[in-house]
Amino acid sequence: MDLGLRGKKALVTGASRGLGFATAFALAKEGADIVINSRNKEMLSDAAKQIAEVTTSKVIPLAGDVSDAKVPQELIKDSAEALGGLDLLLTNSGGPPPGSFESFDDATWLKAVDLSFLSHVRLIRAALPFLRESSNASVLTVSSYSVKQPIQNLVLSNSIRAATVNLTKTLALELGGDGIRFNSILPGWTKTERVNELLAARAEANQSSIEEEFAKQAKDSPLRRMATPEEFANVAVFLLSPAASYLTGVMLSVDGGMVKGVY
């Protein structure tokens, strides 16, 4: 199936590793030209080289911390200039630290809001003028299945990511008339560096091994395993693509059936 992505212009944030990298790679394989972003300049450069070695797409690394209020607007501007416009935007960032409610002060909450909510707000707001000029504008936010089924010891993520999915749904309603689609993926447990860090912390708390924690977590899925980043990316690329032209306002759990509710 031709997804209609050849020649499309995309920005993917949080793309030096994990879900963002896998999605950027998949977009480039489909012929999209991409800007990739993350905080770590060296890792980002390595990621761009990996993609460029395998695809013929334009791949431009632009480093910057999207939790910094000044970065998103500049990143969008530089991306649109480098690509000659912007059709697709995937807003993704690292998650806040694990911990219980009483372990966090106001400063930690505010930092998490900047990272996991306001980064989406600022990137989308800055991108709207460019997206309105596109004939296939599409925005995909990355959240977590925890907005439907909270995860123990992740109170920051559980709480703040719920705002992201409600933002996404609201923008789908407000800006559909401008021809811009807004969707969100709610990933479940996926084999990424972020999950390694979370399960390492869990292993320390439980006085177990990380291998034991991986095995216990995988059992929660009806498929009895975690997802790969590529499985997430396959869904993300479809939702961003013109092939999904009548899908907007979708909050899609890519979780291997871990969410137990019907809706």
Average pLDDT taken over every residue of the chain:
94
Burial class (CB in 10 A: 0-12, 13-18, 19+), 26: buried
Please say whether the beta carbons of 259 and 149 come within 8 A: yes
159-202 confidence digits (pLDDT tens) = 999 999 999 999 999 999 999 999 999 998 888 888 888 788 88
46-75 confidence digits (pLDDT tens) = 999 999 999 999 999 999 999 999 999 999
CA–CA separation, 14 and 66 (whole Å):
9
Alpha helices, DSSP H, located in the chain: 18-29, 41-54, 71-83, 106-113, 119-131, 155-175, 193-206, 210-218, 229-240
Higher pLDDT, 72 or 215: 72
123-167 confidence digits (pLDDT tens) = 999 999 999 999 999 999 999 999 999 988 899 999 999 999 999
Joined together, the tokens standing for residue 53 give 């070695």
Residue 260 CB neighbours (<10 A) = 9
CA–CA separation, 121 and 144 (whole Å):
17
Greatest Cα-to-Cα distance within the chain, rounded to the nearest angstrom:
54
Task: Give the DSSP per-residue string, 70-134.
Answer: THHHHHHHHHHHHHTS--EEEE--PPPPPB-GGG--HHHHHHHHIIIIIHHHHHHHHHHHHHTT-
Read off the amino acid at residue 75.
L
**Parts of the chain belonging to CATH 3.40.50.720:** 9-188+228-254
pLDDT at 156: 97
Q: Is the dihedral of CA 186, 191, 192, 198 positive or negative?
A: positive
Express as a percent the part of the chain with pLDDT over 90. 79
What is the crossing angle of helices 155-175 and 119-131, to 10°?
Answer: 20
CA–CA separation, 147 and 150 (whole Å):
6
**9-188+228-254 classified as CATH 3.30.950.10:** no
